[in-house]
Chains A and B, each alone.
Chain A
Amino acid sequence: MAVVFDRPKALLDIPTHYCPGCTHGVIHRLVAEVIDELEVLDKTIGVAPVGCSVLAYDYFACDMFEAAHGRAPAVATGIKRSNPDKVVFTYQGDGDLAAIGTAEIVHAATRGELITSIFVNNCIYGMTGGQMAPTTLPGQITETTPYGRDVKIAGYPIQVSEMISTLIGAVYVERVSVDTVPHVIKAKAAIKRAFQYQLEGKGFSMVEVLSICPTNWGLSPDESFIWLRENMIPFYTLGVKKDSTQEVK
């Protein structure tokens, strides 16, 4: 019988630790499928963050690094500069990339590092149990914003893709979502293009993936997808934020 669906070679056959309904598994798979399709497994090096996806180094079949919290783009810079023939990507959550690691992502982008960052935004710190993230929406209830995020106290969420797209060194920035099948297909295309731009030596590329956290949002996976569509997408609008090779409207 013909096999029509199989595990990508770039993912190891290991049960993940992710909560039921979490979309990290989907995003891992998209990255792995892209690595397979581009036939770069042999020369890809990934950098895992601190946060929910900390153990990503156990799941990807390529060589992997575990970085300190927020430092993945600096670690990736060191890897890529010393191994310019390799494909290097970081996989980071919103606390990691947009709070403690803001300096590292901004400067890796502005240097035009030939790396790709997969930025998973679920508006919350997942691993530590649901505290406010730099991406937490105004009014959103978290463990450390029990009365809802008050922008007068906690300020406003960061629209990372819009911020990074202002940097000359960043050649490709797109925000995608994995809440529906069509969105998942678009997300994969974006991740693939980001990797391709790296392979072509164009510059820094980043794909922001809107993701859900049923556990810490206190919602079912289905309710979470609805929450994502009703609350996240209006603020974190989907689409290509920057593509230096094309005119973006």
Chain B
Amino acid sequence: MGEKVLMKGNEAIAEAAIRANCQCFFGYPITPQTEVAAYMSRKMPKIGRVFLQAESEIAAINMVYGAAGSGVRSMTSSSSPGISLKAEGISYIVGAELPCLIVNIVRGGPGLGGIQPAQSDYFQATKGGTHGDHNMPVYVPASIQEMVDLVQEAFDVADLYRTPCMIMGDGMLGQMMEPVEFKEVTKRKLPEKDWAANGLQGRKKHNVINSLYLKAEDLENHNLKLQEKYKLIKANETRYELFNCEEQCDLIMVAYGTTARICKNTIKLAEKEGLKLGLIRPITVWPYPVEAFEKTINKTKHGYLSVEMSCGQMVEDVKLSVNGRAPVNFFGRVGGVVPNPQEILMNVKELVGGVK
């Protein structure tokens, strides 16, 4: 295509999914992601694909389970309280090793919370978030263009490893408009879905989509297999951006999504005051880009500052990555309050003390 169009984040996700050959969308209305479903409802029937508004978030994720299990590329999208409802289905999808895309346009919580942007579902997204030992790749774009690019990537990674993938944006990314270009992306070589339960059609043995293993040893082996898969994903699919970290920094901020963009503005403001700040921007928060810390551990005078729209969730992964080798601090605004570059800079200055 090659031409730029101005699009709202949520609609851009939907368009990108259609271009990534997503055949089925199952969803339920919830602010601030409803435009994904609305866009899909306009476009999918016209190209012979499936859009279905489910009776609940629970039903929507189970419809994805059914479609994905029969080998069809499918997705759902929601926002925080809806993702909590989908948790059960996500666990079954993980257990049955089904590829699909789950979009979470995060709003503030807990409970009904609010409808303003937040990053407070970090733990839920990166630490399993449902019952059982598991993880899934979680992509955290910082722009609508990146969100669009990551949709194809997430679908491919899902198919490659037989895992659900999540794109986790926040209400800001979902609602704002930016120019985007739908690029021709290099698609990965993907394995045949010979495991799909889509009717025998001449096949001798039936395929079963299942997550039940009644023998303890069998379930242990299944879990070990999942862990092997996670090792592969960690080794091959971890993504991050290092910004302004080439030279020695006074401090390196760590932030993703909308917050990372704000931190880039903080870096500019800091330069005017003679402060050199770097930024580690995870593009996947699971797997977490531990490597970024290895590369920068000797380049920061005052350690790291995790900047979040949550009460200090990602900072735990920062601490694990730094492993006591440098100071790790946290600054966050929550409840839908978006931090501004100045207040982040104020916080940085407190940490770097006398540095001018």
Contact = CB atoms under 8 A, between A and B. Distances in A.
B96 to A, nearest CB: 8
Interface stretch (A62-70, A131-139, A207-215, A240-248): A62-70
A43 B69 CA distance: 15
A228 interface: no
Interface in B187-236: 197-202, 206-212
A183 interface: no
A63 B26 CA distance: 22
B66 A75 contact: yes
Contact of B56 (A42, A61, A80, A103): A103
Contact of A68 (B24, B89, B207): B89
Contact of B197 (A45, A77, A103): A45
A54 interface: yes
Given A54-B212, A78-B24, A107-B55, A43 B66 contact: no
A112 to B, nearest CB: 12
A74 B72 CA distance: 16
Interface stretch (B57-65, B237-245, B266-274, B334-342): B57-65
B63 A77 contact: yes
Contacts of B66: 47, 65, 74-80, 82
A41 interface: yes
Nearest to B201: A42
B92 interface: yes
Contacts of A41: 200
Contact of B62 (A42, A55, A58, A68): A68
Interface residues of A, number: 36
Which of B50, B58, B62, B212 has the most A CB atoms < 10 Å from its CB? Answer: B62
B205 to A, nearest CB: 9
B65 A62 contact: no
Nearest to B200: A42
Interface string B36-75: 0000000000000010101110111011111111101010
Contact of A64 (B56, B60, B206): B206
A15 to B, nearest CB: 15
Contacts of A75: 62-63, 65-66, 69
Nearest to B209: A65
B88 interface: yes
Contacts of B77: none
A82 B23 contact: yes
Nearest to A71: B62
Given A63-B206, A65-B209, A107-B55, A42 B24 contact: no
A57 interface: yes
A216 B355 CA distance: 75
Contact of B202 (A42, A54, A61, A65): A42
A67 B61 CA distance: 11
Nearest to A54: B212
A68 B60 CA distance: 13
A179 to B, nearest CB: 30
A150 interface: no
B67 A63 contact: no
A64 B92 contact: no
B98 to A, nearest CB: 10
A138 to B, nearest CB: 30
Contacts of A74: 54, 58-60, 62-63, 65-66
A103 B96 CA distance: 23
A44 interface: yes
Q: Quick one: which of A44, A60, A64, A71 has the most chain B CB within 10 A?
A: A71
Contacts of A58: 208
Nearest to B89: A68
A83 interface: yes
Interface in B272-292: none
Interface in A140-169: none
A63 B200 CA distance: 6
A36 interface: no
A152 to B, nearest CB: 30
Contacts of B207: 63-64
Given A63-B198, A68-B88, A82 B208 contact: no
A58 B52 CA distance: 30
16 contacts: A42-B200, A42-B201, A43-B201, A62-B200, A62-B206, A65-B208, A65-B209, A75-B66, A77-B66, A79-B197, A80-B66, A82-B50, A82-B66, A86-B70, A86-B199, A103-B59
Interface of B: 23-24, 26, 50, 52, 54-56, 58-60, 62-70, 72, 74, 88-89, 92, 96, 197-202, 206-212
Q: Can you list the 3 inter-chain pairs with the closest CB atoms, starting with the nearest?
A: A78-B66, A78-B63, A74-B62
